[in-house]
Amino acid sequence: MKGKVSSYLIGNQQVRVYIAETTELVKHAMAVHGTSPLSTAALGRVLTAATILGRMTKSDNEQVTLQISGTNQIKSIVAITDASGNVKGYISNSLAELPLNPQGKLDVGGAVGKDGKLVLIRDMGLKEPYVGHANLITGEIAEDLAAYFMYSEQQPTAVSLGVLTDAEVFVRAAGGMVIQTLPNVDEEVIEKLETAINGMAPISNMIDQGMTPDAIIDTVFTDFDSELLEVVDIEYTCNCSEERMLKGLISIGEKDLREIIEEDGKVELHCHFCNTYYNFTRSQIEDILDAALKA
């Protein structure tokens, strides 16, 4: 369930590159949510993108939420990550199915649709989080995230995301790359960068071939010097707990909780991110109410 995000500077320190290896992480997400190959690819791309966004934060306390709102079979994909490398995700339709697209690949764009929204939330613990919006361009996630950076943050960015599955519904490789030019980048560097990106193989194929992030950098950016900045572990993990769920119950309010007790005699809560169910008995709920009233 773990992976890594490696960060580099290339081109005389004028370009920043992030490479995420998320094969095991996406395998774990597939097991948690019981996803079809198509839903695995969609969720895996969003999770991978989120892990990179978590490394692009400006604060150690920042939490990043990436949300894709679709219009076809997949209505919602959400991934939440932090600067420590923890990530969790949810997809509204875990069993989406469509024929392969004209390129012979899983049709994530068709399942998500082109008329939805991408929302990026950066919560730095201040009064109000930063919320950015963009229309989906293709529904393929990578192109949509690149368009978001260009039009919402005015930051030229190239994004590659991939989840490679085989006929046995097994995740063979998953990963992503985000490439951003820094301010005042030389025109010559931009031209060389465009040539390198246009000739780049799919990131999941390179990972499937056993290439390390260093090898990917050396292969894709042959005309650039490079400097490794950091390698950070990432992990699919959910921070839900019985205590957090109990706090959520208290927020419902005394009237509604008492109605639940009378109707059902118990409460079952479900965490969408890890598929854990929490069951609370009548006596537990009554204890919660008594404690809340005494507070």
Look up residue 35 and give its two tokens. Answer: 């996803």
Q: How many whole angstroms separate alpha carbon 145 and alpha carbon 218?
A: 25
The model's pTM: 0.93
pLDDT tens over the chain, length 295 residues: 689 999 999 999 999 999 999 999 999 999 999 999 999 999 999 999 999 999 998 777 889 999 999 999 999 999 999 988 999 999 999 999 999 999 889 999 999 999 999 999 999 877 888 899 999 999 999 999 999 999 998 899 999 999 999 877 789 999 999 999 999 999 999 999 999 999 999 999 999 999 999 999 999 999 999 999 999 999 999 999 988 887 777 777 777 777 877 777 778 889 999 999 998 888 887 777 776 666 5
* Partner residues linked to 68 by β-bridges: 77, 118
Burial 44-80 (b: 16+ CB within 10 A, else e): bbbbbbbbbbbbbbeeeebbbbbbbbbebbbeebbbb
Start-end ranges of CATH 3.55.30.10 in the chain?
Answer: 2-236
CA dist., res. 244 & res. 241, Å (int) = 5
- Does domain 2-236 sit in CATH 1.20.1440.230? no
Q: State residue 292's pLDDT score.
A: 63
Delimit the CATH 3.90.1280.10 region(s) of the chain. 242-294
Residue 160: other Cβ atoms inside 10 A: 23
Residue 140, both tokens: 């393929």
Q: Which residues contact 222 (CB under 8 A, 6 or more apart)?
A: 196
**Confidence (pLDDT) at 139:** 97
The CATH classification number of 242-294 equals 3.90.1280.10
